[in-house]
Amino acid sequence: MRKRAALIYGSVITGLTLLSGCVFQGEQSLQEMDPPQEQASTGQNNVENSETTSNNGQETNQEQNQVVVETNERQLYLLDANGMVVPQTVLLPETETKEYAKQALEYLVKGGPITNVLPSGFEAVLPAGTEINSLNLMKDEGTLVVDVSKEFSEYRPEDELKILQAMTYTLTQFESVERVKLQINGYDTDVMPVNGTPISDGYSRANGINLHVGDVVNLSDSKSVTVYYPTQHDDKVYYVPVTKRVKANDENVYETIVQTLVNGPGFDLNLQQVFNEGAKLVEKPKYTDGVLKLTFNENVLNNFDDQAVLSTEVMDSLVLSLTEQPGVEAVSVEVENIDQVFSEQGEVLAEPVSRPQMVNTRRF
């Protein structure tokens, strides 16, 4: 008798640490995605936060007379070789001031401290010489005001949205930050200094990232969704978020996201198509207690040595894209008429997959 078996990718978010939180002078605070394990405070008008470190603190190896420096994993949004804004997890040194959010922005500056830890094929996005003067949180509004030096204005017009997106996505990893506003040398600005992009109400993730204008023109029956497509530099596969306008409503948004992934990124994006021709859902997605179950036909699989194999890139794209939707915490995949489905590593897939705490750190 044929059985349906749940496919699931195991989640390997274990061992990853995010920024633990940010503390401002007084009672204002920025709290990161994960609960802080310790708190720290710092100077006036600067963003501060506690941090979980990736080792056991600063220690001295007496035998080798070497100092082991504390480091922290950061999710920074950098530019890849195709000019796309992409999250990359970078190991940064512990800072005595505990101003971790300010440090993250400083590592977005071209020619700055990011130079020695820049991933291959990536570059920083903020203009060279830019200084981060201060960060101030308007707690009740969830708005973070970033004051930068005049050098910030020295960028190409075509880089304006990339700069906004990189700054916004880097800072809104903190739960208390919903949008970012800008000051230049202490003066508020309602538009970006080069191309005039309006920012008086702040810039948020709702504005999207790597915006792709498709053929949808009717705003009343469409939605903006962010989906993830893989690409590769040298031998490293990583995932690029792309915000698309798609014809969808609240009732069919899951199906629309899946179909958008199946259709591929499009000829004008230098990203990979990883779904096989003919792959499609055979049932409507089912949402239960944070888990979204998908049932595909057999075309979603690859066959190697008589084993039904689900591509790593296919599952990763599904999980990253669908967990962008509110309430979706994990994705489960089934394939009709298949008893066992294997990963590319030869393991039977059997559990729902959760989103990793940081994207492009390592495989799920």
DSSP 109: B
Q: Is pLDDT at 40 greater than 90 in this prediction? A: no
Share of the chain above pLDDT 70, in %: 79
Q: Is pLDDT at 241 greater than 60 in this prediction? A: yes
Q: Is pLDDT at 50 greater than 80 in this prediction? A: no
Rounded to whole angstroms, the Cα distance separating 316 from 261 reads 11
Cβ burial of 171 (10 Å; 0-12, 13-18, 19+) is buried
Q: Which residue has the higher pLDDT, 220 or 176?
A: 176
Rounded to whole angstroms, the Cα distance separating 67 from 28 reads 35
Question: pLDDT category, 64, cuts 50, 70, 90?
Answer: low
Cα–Cα separations (whole angstroms), residue 306 to 252, 295, 309, 333? 35, 21, 9, 20
Summarize pLDDT for 299-357 with one digit per residue, the tens. 999 876 677 899 999 999 999 999 999 999 999 999 999 988 888 888 888 889 999 98
Residues 6+ apart with CB under 8 A from 298: 308, 335, 336, 337, 338
Report residue 231 as tokens. 């690409």
Count of helix runs (H) and strand runs (E) in the chain? 4, 20
Confidence at residue 176, expressed as pLDDT on a 0 to 100 scale:
85
In the block, tokens 């749940």 appear at 6
Q: Which residue has the higher pLDDT, 13 or 107?
A: 107
Closest residue by Cα to residue 171 from 92, 81, 106: 106
Share of the chain above pLDDT 90, in %: 61
Rounded to whole angstroms, the Cα distance separating 242 from 271 reads 10
Is 308 within 8 Å of 338 (Cβ atoms)?
A: yes
Q: Report phi then psi at 148, rounded to 5.
A: -120, 165
Residues 6+ apart with CB under 8 A from 282: 295, 296, 297, 336
* Domains in the chain: boundaries: 21-207, 210-354
The SS3 call for residue 297 is: coil
Q: What is the DSSP secondary-structure string of 30-63? A: EEBSSPPSS----STTS----B--SSSSSEEETT
Q: Is pLDDT at 160 greater than 90 in this prediction? A: yes
Dihedral (CA of 106, 116, 53, 11) sign: positive
Report residue 234 as tokens. 């040298």
Q: Is pLDDT at 237 greater than 90 in this prediction? A: yes
